[in-house]
Structure 1
Amino acid sequence: MSYEKGKNPSSLDEEAHSYRNSPAIQDDDRSSSYSSGSYYSESKGGSAFTRFIDSFKPIDLEEDGIDTTNMTPMEKSIIASARHPLARRLKSRHLQMIAIGGSIGTGLFIGSGYSLYMGGPAGLLIGYLLVGYSMLCVIYGLGELSVQFPVSGSFNAYFTRFVDDSWGFTLGLLYATSWLVSFPSELIACSMTIQYWNTSVNPAVWVAVFYVVIVSINFFGVKGYGEAEFYLSIIKVVAVVGFLIVGVCIICGVGEGGYIGGRYWHNPGSFNHGFKGVCSVFIGAAFSFGGIELVALAAAETRNPRKSLPKATKQVFWRITIFYILTAIIIGFLVPYNNPMLLSGNSSEDIVASPFVIAIQSGGIKVLPHIMNAVILVAVVSVGNSSVYGCSRTLASLAVQGLIPSIFGYIDRAGRPMVAIMFTNLVGLLGFLVASENQGTVFTWFFSICSLAAFFTWIAICFTHLRWRWALAAQGRSLDEVAFVSPLGTFGSYSGILILSLIVVGEIWISIWPIGEPASNITFWQNCLSLPLMLVSIIAHKTWYRSWNRIMVKLEDVDLDTGRRDVDVELLKQEIADERETLRQQPFYLKFYHFWC
């Protein structure tokens, strides 16, 4: 970390230690008063309506007595993200369901149809396997950091803290933009899904209905988001498991078409469009897997991250295996990539392109297609809900770090980043473009802004995890004080960076030379606009703040303490050692369960 001239490098450690041991942190009753939603209702009298109105007023916390006069901007951002007053109201059950089914949505239920067409069943499976493994590396590394530092903005704050503030600004902004664009597109997807049953009502009406539903959920704060995702995720998980069971039955000959087996792997074939077809699956897979990192984003709003986050992180392995890999296999057996219904879907928002519905219809099952379509509607609402949550929390984190206007960091007495939520809701009104003939073109260019953003974010998370480990070694500290250690260790982050980097190269290749078309300048910009935007953003930020003299934070200067909820490091070491010794004495099957669950 770069210190101002005349600043004692050890003073930040002293200030951080003072902060961690201050009454604001040690007094659990007071720090949780607003997190339980009772801050304003207990401290203010009046009617229920009055208390509701008061909840929108800014949170009024006592100063922690930290002198920030001589701190660098990065030091201030670390302290600010650690003490940001988001409500800690997410319970373990919320986090578990967010981890298992939180982002299962249009990417899997609908976008997988386009991926199947582009790459064939083998291409779809390979693409999901590669992206799935890289996501496992990402979430394990991110889980290690989030358990250690459950701060506002999570991985966005880690970019600033462990790498560089220009990284934090650029990647945080790209990530927020991804969710920002996703919200109106999910509203449009809701209206398109309804058209499976009703085509007489103007789709803009359905956009309005679901807009009100999603906005209302997020006005209830993180508890509203958590409860909604808990029940919506249960529905999605049950539906996917049910589909897998029905799919196996249809493959074995239960449906009208008789025994299917591996018929479609031979005719029309396992691959479509060759290696380029496999590369084209990656973008679809990114949209399918996108949102898994929301578990870590919710770290600052979780009551007990040290206990609940490791469990939620380990659930991702089962989620990837069951809900993505097995689904890709079943779809590849049930739907040929040249199915006319599949080909008629010309976008990821076209419900007719859902291979789930096509597979069940092909099996001759009359009622299930309607049930599956209802599940798809639930999934779309869920992802729209997550879009508001993910964007608003990222914007609030960027604001509290001083990377965007501070007004976005406004937190009310119920612990809601209200300005960021309202801004996200405002952009969501773009969903009414569904009534326009050119809405497809508009959203194509909107998505081009964040086309590769997911891959850049995931690469940055893996690199940040490596920087965290390197900083521990550089400062003579060990993993003995790390509450949750990634099962894949640094190997996972190295291999994750390698695979994700190769995927980005492949995406650039097929964007310059599209499948079956000559080299296209327009296609390249539509698929890869986020790459030059990222480079321009980093350069502009460094130029504006004149920080070209520092490419990255020095490992010796990385702050390894501020933001912990476990303030006594020695006590934490002893607790971790006791837990590991207890685990070592347990039978093999319990060790196996603990490793994966």
Structure 2
Amino acid sequence: MSYNEDYEKNISHDNSDAFSQSKSKKVINNDIDEESLSDASSYSSGALSTTQLTGFAKFIDSFKPINFEEDGIDTSKMSAIEKSVIANSRHPLARRLKSRHLQMIAIGGSIGTGLFVGSSYALSLGGPAGMLIGYVLVGYSMLCVIFSLGELSVQFPVSGSFNAFFTRFVDDSWGWTLGLLYACSWLISFPSELVACALTIEYWNETVNPAVWVAIFYVIIISINFFGVKGYGEVEYVLSFIKVLAVVGFSILGICIISGVGEQGYIGGRYWHNPGAFNHGFKGVCSVFISAAFSFGGIELVALAAAETQNPRKSLPKATKQVFWRITLFYVVTAIIIGCLVPYNDPRLLDGSSSEDITSSPFVIAIQNGGIKVLPHIMNSVILVAVVSVGNSSVYGCSRTLASLAAQGLIPSIFGFIDKAGRPMVAIMFTNLIGLLGFLVSNNNQDTVFTWFFSVCSLSSFFTWMAICFTHLRWRWALHAQGRSLDEVAFVSPMGTFGSYTGAIILFLIVIGEIWVSIWPIGDGVSAETFWQNCLSLPLLILMIIGHKTYRKSWRRIMIKLEDIDLDTGRRDVDLELLKQEIAEEKQFLKSKPFYYRFYRFWC
């Protein structure tokens, strides 16, 4: 009997779920099939009162607010942070994501324009070695971030995930500031991906007004999100599968071309010697970091979906461990292959001064250099799929973050509106409204507009990732301060606190390097414009934290005391003795297995 089969009965019963009693009710809604019976918790408190409706009437009824009651909890004497913890743990998002959705989102969810097109900047500015170093450093730090976030999300699968953790374990000013910056990054990404869709189509047809393509893909993406988290999960499952196949196929093809298949003959490491392994020296390596962050962006979506997952204790550990293989195979290996196939001085590559063009993708250039006629069109189709996928994730990531902030009382409560289908509809509609900026594709100044939009959240990914590492450390310190141990932690990060320390340090040094190269950019003297374009989010972050603490009059408490951190609310496993017993049995089971099996379970 396998490990999963041996313990799935204990793990998957989820008998301590805050809504577990509602799961025993008979569900007769036509929208819920047998596989979705465990989602009944998200329809509790009267949400199924209209189960006899059918057809269009049922569709219209699904947009009505869910009847979510407080169940007699007295919050009058609670602090703002305590109310926030309660609200996030009870936010009624639909739990419809299955393990297969989470697995595929983990493997291919963040493969998008950052990898397919953004790698063009990385190769042009840093050279093949500079790009590889940048991807390895950011990749290692992301591995630390995801393992830390996985430990927290399995323990507390609450609405908003890491955004809620910032408020819970550090301070509500952290949660407000970093949550808004994270939401803004997805909010701005949505219209920019619509523009990218139009540019991708122009590879085949330049006669049609690009605004037409923006309109078509806008309708497609917002329609997907109207189907709720299950629609998002199914679409991402298919799109991620296509992207994974494309990257694996390109890697195989790339190795063949490097080995001599194609018009160029044997390539090997030719371009690492001429024009060279590095471009622009150390500044070139630092310039790769922003591109790498763009490529890895969205890798944390796995944890963001924790509140909408049927059984996070079973599916989230597997999904987080997939990150190691994704970083290794899809970023590091791909960076090596691209560096061997395309010289960094190829004029078709993006260098920061030329306008963005999908044909500048090193994936397309590598295939064209190999003399293969049809595959560039196939690769461009894959890029289009990736762009749609990122646009879809933009609506999901922004809407869930806004809904979480509203649940915490950090932004207007209207954004926390949840309908009977478990959709944060107001947050989704707000994100869709900002998506209309995609029609700027017809404006000659659209590059300038989006450059300054992105400057608002230019470094926000690094800040978010550093905050996740720090929050994980605060969680571990709080356990120790309150006399509790890892025996009650359902999933322990394989890298432990060492990963959080080293990940945060590397990310901090990357930010310092990015500030340096922004003040003294490659090929220029001191540039205030480049600094503000690349680092506007830094002073904005500081001002937002100061402003929020001043507004809340909370300067007496910089951070929550470790002894006061709530370590229990929001757990799905509230019977600690039963949980400890199950964890001890799992550890004993693993000890009885050979080394290769334990090694496999550690990384897979």
Q: Which residue of 2 aligns with 1:370?
A: 377
For residue 399 of structure 2, the aligned residue among 392, 398, 417 is: 392
Contact between 1:34 and 1:40, CA under 8 Å: does it hold in 2? Answer: no
Q: Any conservation in 1 of the 2:338–2:362 contact (CA below 8 Å)? A: yes
Paired residue for 2:160?
A: 153
| Cα separation, 1, equivalents of 2:393 and 2:439 | 19
Give the alignment partner of residue 104 of structure 1, picking from 111, 114, 134.
111
The 2-side partners of 1:434 and 1:491 are apart by 45
Residue 61 (structure 1) shift: 2.5
Distance change >3 Å, CA 39–CA 105, structure 1 → 2 = farther
Residue 352 of structure 1 and its aligned partner are, at CA, apart by: 1.8
* 2:322 paired residue number: 315
CA–CA distance in structure 2, aligned partners of residues 405 and 60 of structure 1? 19
Please list the CA deviations of residues 537-579 of structure 1 after superposition, one character each: whole Å capped at 9, or x if unmatched. 0000000010000000000000000000112011000001101
Q: What does residue 367 of structure 2 align with?
A: 360
Q: Quick one: distance in 2 between partners of 1:594 and 1:254? A: 38
Q: Distance in 2 between matches of 1:244 and 1:53?
A: 47
Give the alignment partner of residue 532 of structure 1, picking from 539, 557, 562.
Answer: 539
Aligned with residue 577 of structure 1, among 566, 580, 584: 584
1:475 aligns with 2:482: yes
Q: CA deviation at 1:41?
A: 6.3
Q: Which has the larger displacement, 43-52 or 237-246?
A: 43-52
| 1:194–1:41 Cα change, 3 Å | farther
Picking from 238, 248, 254, the partner of 2:261 is: 254
Q: Which structure 2 residues correspond to residues 82-161 of structure 1 after superposition, within 5 A?
A: 82-161=89-168
The corresponding residue for 1:15 is none
Contact 1:34 1:414 in 2 (8 A): no
1:27/1:39 CA distance change after superposition, 3 Å: closer
Aligned twin of 2:12: none
1:520, CA displacement in angstroms? 0.7
Alpha-carbon distance in structure 2 between the residues aligned to 1:164 and 1:222: 29
Is 1:335 the equivalent of 2:342?
Answer: yes
Partners of 1:354 and 1:32 in 2: how far apart?
42
Q: Displacement of 1:349 after TM fit?
A: 4.1
Distance 1:382 1:39 in 2: 34
| From 47, 50, 59, the counterpart of 2:66 | 59
Shift of 1:23: 7.2
Q: Does 1:28 align with 2:23?
A: yes
Distance 1:22 1:207 in 2: 43
| 8 A contact 2:22–2:41 mirrored in 1 | no
Q: Is the 8 A contact 1:110 1:348 kept in 2?
A: no
CA distance in 2, matches of 1:411, 1:381: 25
* Aligned AA (1:482): V
Q: How many residues align?
A: 578
1:330-479 matched pairs, under 5 angstroms: 330-343=337-350, 346=353, 349-479=356-486
Contact kept in structure 2, 1:39 and 1:413, CA below 8 Å:
no
Alignment equivalent of 1:303, drawn from 310, 314, 318: 310
Check the 8 A contact 1:161/1:558 in 2, yes or no: yes
Aligned positions of 1:503-518 closer than 5 A: 503-518=510-525
Instruction: Select which of 166, 169, 174 maps to 2:173.
Output: 166
Task: Determine which of 223, 226, 231 is the counterpart of 2:233.
Answer: 226
Q: How far apart are residue 353 of structure 1 and its match?
A: 1.3
Aligned mates of 2:230, 2:355 — CA distance in 1? 30
Whether the 8 Å contact between 2:224 and 2:232 is mirrored in structure 1 is yes
Q: CA deviation at 1:42?
A: 6.5
C-alpha change, 1:55 and 1:495, in structure 2 (3 Å) is same
Between stretches 36-45 and 197-206, larger displacement belongs to 36-45
Residue in 2 that maps onto 1:4: none
**Which stretch shows the higher mean deviation, 440-449 or 61-70?**
61-70
Deviation for aligned residue 1:29: 3.5
Asked if structure 2 preserves the Cα contact closer than 8 Å seen for 1:24 and 1:64, the reply is no
Post-superposition shift, 1:346?
Answer: 4.8
How far the C-alpha of 1:341 sits from its partner, in A, is 1.5
Correspondence for 1:216 among 209, 212, 223 = 223
CA distance in 2, matches of 1:99, 1:349: 28
Q: Secondary structure at the match of 1:90?
A: coil
Q: Is the 8 A contact 2:124 2:351 kept in 1?
A: no
In 2, Cα distance between equivalents of 1:23 and 1:332: 51
In 2: Cα distance, 1:318 partner to 1:183 partner: 27
Q: Distance in 2 between matches of 1:448 and 1:501?
A: 19
TM-score, normalised relative to structure 2: 0.94
> Structure 2: any 5+ residue segments left out of the alignment?
1-14, 26-37
In 2, the alpha carbon distance for the partners of 1:38 and 1:504 equals: 46
Q: Secondary structure at the match of 1:476?
A: coil
User: Which residue identity does 2:561 align to in structure 1?
Assistant: K
Aligned to 2:242: 235
Give how far 1:126 is off.
0.2
Q: Does the CA-based 8 Å contact 2:419-2:425 persist in structure 1?
A: yes
The one-letter amino acid paired with 1:262 is: G
Cα deviation, residue 344, structure 1: 7.7
Letter in 2 for 1:75: E
The RMSD of aligned alpha carbons is: 1.6
| Structure 1 range deviating more: 55-64 or 234-243 | 55-64
**1:68 matched residue in structure 2:** 75
> Quick one: distance in 1 between partners of 2:104 and 2:44?
22
Amino acid corresponding to residue 28 of structure 1 in structure 2: K
Matched-pair identity in % = 77
Partner of 1:184: 191
In structure 1, the residue matched to 2:6 is none
Q: 2-side partners of 1:339 and 1:115: how far apart?
A: 13
The answer to whether the 8 A contact 1:156-1:172 is kept is yes
For the 8 Å contact 1:180–1:428, the answer to whether it is kept is yes
Deviations 1:368-412 (A, max 9, x none): 111010000000000000000000000000000000000000000
Q: 1:264 is matched by which residue type in structure 2?
A: Y
Matching residue of 1:6: none
CA distance in 1, matches of 2:55, 2:554: 50
Work out the CA distance in 1 between the residues paired with 2:553 and 2:69: 34
Q: Residue 112 of structure 2 contacts residue 390 of structure 2 at CA under 8 Å; is this kept in 1?
A: yes
Match for 2:156: what amino acid?
F
Structure 2 Cα separation of the partners of residues 348 and 472 of structure 1: 51
**Off by >2 Å, runs of 4+ in structure 1:** 20-47, 343-349
Change (3 A) 1:345 1:22: closer
Is the 2:515–2:535 Cα contact (8 Å) retained in structure 1?
Answer: yes
* Partner in structure 2 of residue 492 of structure 1: 499
CA distance in 2, matches of 1:146, 1:450: 24
Aligned counterpart in structure 2 of residue 551 of structure 1, from 544, 548, 558? 558
Q: Corresponding residue for 2:252?
A: 245
Alpha-carbon distance in structure 2 between the residues aligned to 1:243 and 1:37: 47
Question: Closer, same or farther in 2 for the Cα pair 1:355/1:587, shift >3 Å?
Answer: same
Letter in 2 for 1:95: L
**Superposed displacement of residue 28, structure 1:** 2.8
Stretches of structure 1 lacking an aligned partner (at least 5 in a row): 1-19
* 1:246, distance to aligned residue in structure 2 (A): 0.2
Q: Deviations over 1:462-521 (max 9, x none)?
A: 000000000000000000000000000000000001100000000000111110101011
Within 2, Cα distance between the matches of 1:258 and 1:22?
61
Distance 1:111 1:57 in 2: 41
Offset of residue 27 of structure 1? 3.7
